[in-house]
Structure 1
């Protein structure tokens, strides 16, 4: 019998809201067949369409089905209704590891080692499946009722082909991001995740960040030079391992295999081997096939929306392509002057408007390959590029 304030979704009895984000609500629910508590992430299809999130959400869900591990939040299944998508997740009741650090300032070394061992086990499993998390931080590490770690939030993760680990998207949380991620030559997803794990270990042992500045340029310089110092209460073994992990050179940075062999890491270490399970993505494909059909038919309407949503890293990457040196070296004076804007209007519509305005001003504009040229400019030409 259903309680007051709950509603039914197949075999799930949905109750109170336990979390709310920009694009989704998370509801507490119970599997009435097994009695198991679950969390249901509820996303509106209109929101997914409006913000062009189909590919991102499909990738996140697919990855979570691939990386089944005791120390990773489990995705049970995906259901769809007329207007909403329901992602059924393992219910993790212990809160975020971040909250534990806030309340206790720093954790005992043995406890930190246990969490770090579980984190490395989970990350190693992800890498074995070709998955790189790219946003590892205490806020994305949950604790279950037994105090075991659960890695969550694969929204920024990448799935690469076997043997091809070079990534190019600049993303993550600045304080936890490896220095090479902010470069423009690609980076190894495994090495970048290892760096983030090292920052997490430092934070839970020290109670504060190894790299923490109010402005991004100064923060980036410190990260690039690995300018940090371990507090006096770190044991020699912990200090040595952290220094090997927070190596700004990804080629010499210790790898997961090396971490697992480290004497400090191996103390009381009990590795967990996940049970191999067949991965079936049929439910994911079924859910998104329907939405993608709607997306194709409604795409012009989506383009009529407001300005594009951009995060900090997307804004950063607009500086000199993906070369960030112009942001961090204030002595440079050779940066080309550029004005950039984003629009949901198709390029051909914007170009037509530019040509019309130019004509009214008596200017001649030549358009080729989505570029507009004004050859009458004294310095040769003024260019408008769309892409």
Structure 2
């Protein structure tokens, strides 16, 4: 099988690493510098159809404004005749949520370090007049050094949107949303972000949500009353700060300045140093949406034969934690073994047909295109839909890796689905024998 190569301007485009309702995120490589980047791809037709031009402009503009070491960096924005390409920093460590799912609650000193970085990033946003409005562990990524990076500014608000100083749009994920946001009244974006940071701190330290109900009315009732309790292992200092943050009254809720002065927060606190950014120019953002021929980049695609994409060694390395090769080879690193991908020696077409059959037996909607399958279903708690994308890659002759990723829905629901789904795919999943050498890459890729 031949490799399919696609280029957008100076970027060589690889596998899909994320997929949402309106955009895909691709792994890409800058052919001039060799740097790995994440390429967010949006179809212009979709943006126009759903009247999202202003929202996308806002997201891009915000990411150019809020440059900080703990925020995913936007490199540049490109446009072709039919698509918009947002070139972002490629963050290799995965979501903070996945770390919690795999390892459980984090020790207090580790949770505090992430919380300190989160507050630094959010404070920087607020200084720039930007309010995130969708802070949750799924939108917090980890880089190769274990540093936190805030991502996904799709629901963020800029100062000019506030009118008289209050925001009015109800948005975000219910479990992390402040009570005043749920009340359909004006709210202060900074106070709402602080509440979400408090919920995140609780989740990281406890391993579960402070407000968690199967039906929305009861969930909203608990959030409005700030009805929660801290587990016994929280220190007195942590409990005190969390109660100050999860104050249902935004006027008496602690602010970021108060959090930074809190004794528990200040322990081993080393504010990140970053230089003042150069003046931000948003001309290229506007140009992307204008029909200016010389702003378009060339799209090139070379496809020799139909078949699964071939994943090269470098791309496989980036799947490991922080480009640390030991994570690929060490059987003892259980968190890698439970990553959402598996290996099969069955033919690619057999893999796809088996996935389709199992999905249909689970009453899931199945959409297959080539060697990529999208599955859709209802979450187990009946609170909404979820979607999963499975893609087959050839990693060696007669050896295939199936990459499984959440496309929509709750991350915890996705992990439950994946575990159940894998048990039904035993006949195609290849599990190396005990006699194989410890250098076997594939040991870390089974369910």
The two structures share one fold, judged by TM-score above 0.5: yes
Q: Deviation string for 1:37-68 (max 9, x for gaps)?
A: 10001111111111111111111111111000
Give the superposition deviation at 1:153: 0.5
Contact 1:92 1:144 in 2 (8 A): yes
Larger Rg: 1
Q: What does 1:1-387 correspond to in 2, within 5 Å?
A: 4-161=3-160, 165-277=165-277, 278-290=279-291
Partner Cα separation in structure 2 for residue 188 and residue 210 of structure 1: 22
Give the superposition deviation at 1:164: 5.5
Partner Cα separation in structure 1 for residue 168 and residue 44 of structure 2: 29
Partner Cα separation in structure 2 for residue 44 and residue 240 of structure 1: 47
Q: Deviation string for 1:84-135 (max 9, x for gaps)?
A: 1110000000000000000011111110000000000000000000000000
- SS of 2:290's equivalent in the other structure is helix
Residue number in structure 2 paired with 1:315? none
How many corresponding residue pairs? 289
- SS of 2:152's equivalent in the other structure is coil
Give the superposition deviation at 1:184: 3.3
Instruction: Please report the TM-score for the alignment, with normalisation by the length of structure 1.
Output: 0.73
Give the superposition deviation at 1:4: 3.6
Partner Cα separation in structure 2 for residue 148 and residue 289 of structure 1: 37
- SS of 1:166's equivalent in the other structure is coil
Q: Deviation string for 1:321-354 (max 9, x for gaps)?
A: xxxxxxxxxxxxxxxxxxxxxxxxxxxxxxxxxx
Partner Cα separation in structure 2 for residue 188 and residue 274 of structure 1: 27
Partner Cα separation in structure 1 for residue 184 and residue 91 of structure 2: 38
Instruction: Please report the TM-score for the alignment, with normalisation by the length of structure 2.
Output: 0.63
Contact 1:6 1:16 in 2 (8 A): no
Give the superposition deviation at 1:15: 1.4
- SS of 1:135's equivalent in the other structure is coil
Partner Cα separation in structure 2 for residue 253 and residue 147 of structure 1: 30
Contact 2:169 2:184 in 1 (8 A): no
Give the superposition deviation at 1:31: 1.3
Q: 1:163 to 1:171 in 2, by over 3 A?
A: closer
Partner Cα separation in structure 2 for residue 165 and residue 41 of structure 1: 32
Give the superposition deviation at 1:185: 2.9
Partner Cα separation in structure 2 for residue 184 and residue 152 of structure 1: 26
Mark the runs of 5 or more structure 1 residues left unpaired by the alignment.
292-387
Partner Cα separation in structure 2 for residue 185 and residue 219 of structure 1: 18
> Which structure has more RCO (C-alpha within 8 Å, separation ≥ 6)?
2
Contact 1:165 1:190 in 2 (8 A): no
